[in-house]
A = this chain, B = another copy of it.
Amino acid sequence: MRRSKRLVLLSKFLSDNPNRIFTLKFFGEKYDAAKSSISEDLNIIKDAFYEGGEGVLETIPCAAGGVRFRIKRPQKEIENFLSELCSVLSDRSRIIPGGYLYMTDIIFSPEYSSRIGEIFAQIFVEEEPSCVLTVETKGIPLALMTAKALGVPLVVARRDSRVTEGPSVNISYVSGSSQRIQNMALPTRALSKNARVLIVDDFMKGGGTARGMMELVRQFGAEVVGVAVLVTTALPAEKLVKNYISLMVLEKIDAELGQINLKPVKFPANEEGI
């Protein structure tokens, strides 16, 4: 196979499998080429991904020699994307009677959810999450795309336990915004004790749901390594969860005037300055 074709297929493969380690031997066999040729290919790809703002192709010191592609977009590009997203979401036609903001189409869009998931992954990759956790329903697309970008499994808590999923751990928690008691269940086989869990959700008001997920993780004896949310409301300022990252803050919806005040969070930013 000629170099140009190998470059095409290698680029696609690495892009499809972010954050996973592959050896030069593996690629040599896959593309029927000498390790030295593969090594040269990877250097070209490394420069191209870096210059193109796609990410970093890291060399991993291991017996056989390996590489790992990590998505890393320039800060400016992420800021532009979040500004664009705020502008799309601030269209007055998105105001739902009752003063809610219609975000479902954006959250379920493969295009937006994959970009948001890549941003979450980029922020938390150094924490080395071993899985992503969310609770049904609207958090699933963002959480799945985050898991994909991290190369780890997704785990989804349900609102109630299902006979089709076997024994489960169930918790009750008070929703921060509605003050209602809610349930959350996760099959016992879904999470292992030594898991490093990144919690992802679409929206946070009081933080009760996120705290419920943290409690659920604790019941399994596993560890929460981060909480990532797409949109938080400005009020209440005190959330039930202390350390989280959100990409946008919803300050106000004025249904009368048809005004939505939604702002991107300066990236990267959380209380720990990550």
Known A44-B5, A136-B137: A163·B11 in contact at CB below 8 Å: no
Complex contacts, A153 vs chain B, CB 8 Å: 105, 108-110
Tell me the nearest residue of chain B to A45, going by C-beta.
Answer: B8
Contacts of A49 in B (CB 8 A): 8-9, 12
A98 interfacial by beta-carbon distance below 8 Å? yes
Give 1 or 0 for each of A1-15: 1 = CB within 8 Å of chain B CB.
Answer: 101110111011001
Partner-binding segment picked from A76-84, A154-162, A209-217, A225-233: A154-162
Determine which residue in A1, A11, A109, A147 has the highest number of CB atoms from chain B within 10 A of its CB, and name it: A11
User: B156 touching A137 by the CB < 8 A rule?
Assistant: yes
- Among A8, A104, A156, A164, chain B packs the most CB atoms within 10 A around the CB of A8
A52 interface residue per 8 A CB criterion? yes
Query: A100 at interface (Cβ–Cβ under 8 A)?
Result: yes
> In the bound complex, what is the Cα–Cα distance between A96 and B165 (angstroms)?
7
Of B1, B54, B111, B144, which one neighbours A141 at CB under 8 angstroms?
Answer: B144
Q: Determine whether the beta carbon of A163 is less than 8 Å from that of B98.
A: yes
B141–A4 touching, CB < 8 Å: no
Q: How many chain A residues have a CB neighbour from B under 8 Å?
A: 54
Complex interface bits, A46-83 against B, C-beta within 8 A gives 1, otherwise 0: 01110110100000000000000000000000000000
Oligomeric state, in copies: 2
Q: Which residue of B lies closest to A20 (CB)?
A: B111
- Output the least CB separation between A8 and chain B (Å): 4
A88 within 8 A of B: no
State whether the Cβ of A273 lies closer than 8 Å to any Cβ in chain B: no
The residue on B at minimum CB distance from A14 is B12
Q: How far is the CB of A248 from chain B (nearest CB, A)?
A: 16
Q: Which residues of B contact A7 (CB under 8 A)?
A: 4, 7-8, 11
A16 in the interface, Cβ–Cβ < 8 Å?
Answer: yes
Contact with A4, one of B1, B4, B113 (Cβ below 8 angstroms): B4
A104 and B137 in contact, given A51-B5, A153-B110, A154-B109 (Cβ under 8 angstroms): no
> Top 4 A-B pairs ranked by shortest CB distance?
A110-B148, A8-B48, A5-B48, A96-B166
Given A12-B52, A140-B140, 15 new contacts (CB under 8 A):
A4-B4, A5-B48, A7-B7, A11-B15, A12-B49, A12-B54, A15-B15, A100-B165, A100-B166, A102-B187, A104-B190, A108-B154, A109-B153, A110-B147, A137-B137
